[in-house]
Amino acid sequence: MHPHEIAQMFSKIARRYDLANRILSFNRDRAWRRELVQQAAPRSGERLLDLCTGTGDVVIAFAYACPALQIVGLDLSEEMLRVAREKCARLGLDQRVQFVHGDVLELPFAESSFEIATIAFGLRNLPDRARGLREIYRVLSHRGRVFILEFSAPQSFLARSVYLPYLRYIVPWVGGMLTGARAPYQYLRDSILSFPNRAQILEELYDVGFRPVGYRDLTFGIATLYWGGKAIC
Ligand SMILES: C[S@@+](CC[C@H](N)C(=O)[O-])C[C@H]1O[C@@H](n2cnc3c(N)ncnc32)[C@H](O)[C@@H]1O
């Protein structure tokens, strides 16, 4: 799918996206974003770029965790960004967060513009992952680091036998009922099932130049948190 088609799909569900997330993940999505913030360990004065920011839940979590962080959220869907801006305004965070309309595959930022880049449930959507990762590497400073939160297929037999039927049959149905659009949740299911395994994502990060790289599974491996550093040794 072309990035603009994907963004259009998200625009259609923007208003109900958060509700569907909370219900389909049994509220785990919030805890996963908190883990992301904790792992990133932001420091005052650092610059953060949140890619595929959607309705802004990652930037909001960072804004609360670190008051002196400079925060930019980027997304290709104007409708998702509109919801993100409204949420930040309601929470009094609008002066702290800047939202930019743009494509991860062609980031509108100069080299070394950020110390932290994050992308939560967005990497799966990129038609050219290597290009997206190269763009992220380019805009990070020499002490930069990237954190990627993404859905995974659990590794244990027990977790797989509960989660995979849930993902295959319940998620598209419930997601469709909650948002009025089933296609985005069929796409969610298909893109999770076809997403590469953990070792391959680490290899892709390494190939782009990130060192060290690592990952940690969350909630029985339904989600995985990856990271990569750009430390110049
Ligand atoms: C599943 S949502 C994730 C939103 C948010 N990060 C979260 O944690 O809920 C994926 C988002 O990626 C955006 N997106 C997809 N492809 C993109 C691209 N090439 N560049 C920027 N944003 C993109 C979509 O518009 C959508 O808002």
Separation CA 65–CA 48 (nearest Å): 13
Separation CA 14–CA 54 (nearest Å): 8
CATH of the domain at 132: 3.40.50.150
Q: Is the peptide bond before 212 cis (omega within 30 degrees of 0)?
A: yes
- 116 ligand 1 Cβ < 6 A: no
- 53 ligand 1 Cβ < 6 A: yes
- 69 ligand 1 Cβ < 6 A: no
pLDDT (tens place) for every residue of the chain, 233 residues total: 888 899 999 999 999 999 999 999 999 999 999 999 999 999 999 999 999 999 999 999 999 999 999 999 999 999 999 999 999 999 999 999 999 999 999 999 999 999 999 999 999 999 999 999 999 999 999 989 999 999 999 999 999 999 999 999 999 999 999 999 999 999 999 999 999 999 999 999 999 999 999 999 999 999 999 999 997 54
Ligand 1 pocket check: which of 75, 79, 80, 225 to mutate, most ligand atoms within 8 Å of Cβ? 75
Task: Please tell me the predicted confidence (pLDDT) of residue 233.
Answer: 45
Separation CA 169–CA 187 (nearest Å): 13
On whether residue 96 sits in a domain, the answer given is yes
Compute, in angstroms, the gap from residue 84 CA to the centroid of ligand 1.
12
pTM of the model: 0.96
CA atoms within 13 A on the CB side of 143: 5
Structural domain that includes position 42: 3-153+197-229
Task: Please tell me the predicted confidence (pLDDT) of residue 3.
Answer: 86
Q: How many structural domains does the chain have?
A: 1
| Pick from 186, 183, 126: nearest CA to 150 | 126
On whether residue 19 sits in a domain, the answer given is yes
On whether residue 166 sits in a domain, the answer given is no
- 7 ligand 1 Cβ < 6 A: yes
Residue nearest to atom 13 of ligand 1 (CA): 52
On whether residue 172 sits in a domain, the answer given is no
Residue nearest to atom 14 of ligand 1 (CA): 52
Task: Please tell me the predicted confidence (pLDDT) of residue 218.
Answer: 98
